[in-house]
Homo-oligomer: A and B are copies of this chain.
Amino acid sequence: MKKLRCALIGATGLAGQQFVSALMNHPWFELTGLAASPRSAGKQYLDALRNSSGMVSWFLTEPLPPHIAQMTVQAGDALDVSAYDVIFSAVEADVAKVLEPKYAQTTPVISAASAFRYEPDVPLLIPPVNPEHLELLRTQQQARGWKGFIAPMPNCTTTGLAVTLAPLQAAFGVKAVVMTSLQAVSGAGRSPGVIGLDIIDNVVPYIAKEEGKVEVETRKILGAPGAPHAMKVSCTCTRVAVLEGHTEAAWVSLERSASVEEVQRALREWKGHPWTEGLPSAPPRWIELHEDPFRPQPRLDRDVHGGMATSVGRVREDDVLENGVKYVLVSHNTRMGAARGAVLAAELLKTRGFLAAT
Contact = CB atoms under 8 A, between A and B. Distances in A.
B191 A193 contact: no
B206 A197 contact: no
Interface of A: 14, 51-59, 61, 63, 176-178, 180, 182, 185-186, 190-208, 232-234, 236, 238, 240-243, 247, 249, 251, 253, 292-300, 303-304, 313-314, 318-321, 324, 326, 328
Residue among A203, A207, A236 with max Cβ neighbours from chain B (10 Å): A203
13 contacts: A53-B208, A55-B206, A58-B300, A178-B318, A182-B238, A186-B197, A193-B196, A194-B197, A196-B241, A202-B300, A205-B328, A234-B321, A253-B320
A201 B299 contact: yes
Nearest to A302: B61
Given A193-B195, A194-B196, 6 more contacts: A57-B198, A178-B320, A182-B182, A185-B200, A194-B197, A203-B297
B194 A192 contact: no
Nearest to A240: B240
A56 B300 CA distance: 12
B320 A177 contact: yes
A40 to B, nearest CB: 16
Nearest to A202: B299
Contact of A193 (B197, B208, B299): B197
Contacts of A241: 196, 200-201, 240-242
Contacts of A14: 197
A305 to B, nearest CB: 11
A130 B27 CA distance: 44
A196 B198 CA distance: 8
Contacts of A233: 320
Contacts of A198: 55, 57, 59, 196
Given A200-B185, A249-B205, A192 B320 contact: no
A318 B234 contact: yes
A91 B186 CA distance: 29
B204 A201 contact: no
B242 A203 contact: yes
Nearest to A208: B53
Contacts of A55: 198, 204, 206, 292, 294
Given A51-B192, A200-B201, A200-B241, A206 B324 contact: no
